[in-house]
Amino acid sequence: MEVIEVLGYVGALTIGVVLGLIGGGGSILTVPVFVYLMHINPVTATAYSLFVVGSSALVGAVKNIRKGLVSLRTAIVFSIPAFIAVYLTRKFLVPAIPDELFSILEFTITKNIGIMVFFAMIMLMASVSMIKNRKETLEKETIVSYNYPLIIAEGFVVGALTGIVGAGGGFLIIPALVLFAKLPMKKAVATSLLIIAIKSLIGFIGDVENLEIDWIFLLSFTGISIIGIFLGMYISNFIDGKKLEKGFGWFVLVMGIYILIKELA
């Protein structure tokens, strides 16, 4: 096994630890780890990322359900349009993207470059969300109300984005749950994990029908990531993960800029 592959598995553990510590965001590193450390092409990397993200989010969601923090009705309302969009994106849209998108002078933007550039832009958006650091202050209990048209529209948008880049999209889902479903922040964060798990795993089904999956590699990578989640949860007993979120946001920002430079230089 090459040193770079070992670093890839260390990356899997790191992704899990970050998820366990700060409750989200770590999965944004999954695609770069697959592409740059494991040398997997971006289309397959985004597919594998959906499985890792979905499985990891499911672990966190089960924990939150036991604590009574998840609004199951909200998760179902948001998940249906999201998983329809992500499944259709993986099954039909991603395979339909041409290998060469367009050329600027003598530089050709290929499908792989396009996916990674788009992913880097999502990373930059996610980093801003983490750097701003959501405030989980004590909130008064409010009556949960649903703006169904906006929830359904947001679900489709998030599903399509998830399908293209293979990331969870929690930084888009959480504000939507607060604004459109009137959930308190703590419940919105917990409920977003269940939504991410459902849409990511169902979206991955679209890839099973299109791609050849290396199940031994994928399950071992996911297993290491889940071990990392429990390790992160244990560490969180001694360190306040939320205090680390801003620092991790800056790291994601640097990674996003690095990917843009690497792909376009």
Distance of alpha carbon 158 from alpha carbon 170, whole angstroms: 9
Looking at residue 257, its pLDDT comes to 95
105: left (phi over 0), alpha (psi -120 to 50) or beta: left
pTM: 0.84
- Condensed to tens digits (0 to 9), the pLDDT of residues 216-246 reads 999 999 999 999 888 988 887 888 766 777 8
Burial class of residue 222, CB neighbours in 10 A (0-12, 13-18, 19+): buried
CB-based contact 225:16 (threshold 8 Å) = yes
CB-based contact 160:89 (threshold 8 Å) = yes
- Condensed to tens digits (0 to 9), the pLDDT of residues 7-50 reads 888 989 988 888 777 766 667 889 899 999 999 999 999 999 98
CB-based contact 167:28 (threshold 8 Å) = yes
Looking at residue 227, its pLDDT comes to 92
Residue 136 has pLDDT above 60, yes or no: no
Local confidence band at 138 (pLDDT 50, 70, 90 cut-offs) = very low
Looking at residue 110, its pLDDT comes to 93
CB-based contact 229:20 (threshold 8 Å) = yes
Distance of alpha carbon 34 from alpha carbon 156, whole angstroms: 26
Low-confidence winner among 104-113, 117-126, 166-175 (lowest mean pLDDT): 166-175
Task: Check the CA dihedral 121-24-148-81 and report its sign.
Answer: positive
Low-confidence winner among 41-45, 140-144, 163-167 (lowest mean pLDDT): 140-144
Q: Which residue has the higher pLDDT, 143 or 205?
A: 205
Report, as an integer, the average pLDDT of 175-198.
Answer: 84
Residue 148 has pLDDT above 60, yes or no: yes
Distances in Å between the Cα of 91 and the Cα atoms of 29, 101, 204, 238 are 23, 19, 9, 43
Mean pLDDT of the chain: 85
Query: b vs e for 171-201, b when ≥16 Cβ sit within 10 Å of the residue's Cβ?
Result: bbbbbbbbebbbbbbebbbbbbbbbbbbbbb
Looking at residue 106, its pLDDT comes to 79
Distances in Å between the Cα of 2 and the Cα atoms of 27, 39, 49, 61, 238 are 23, 12, 21, 35, 34
CB-based contact 180:151 (threshold 8 Å) = yes
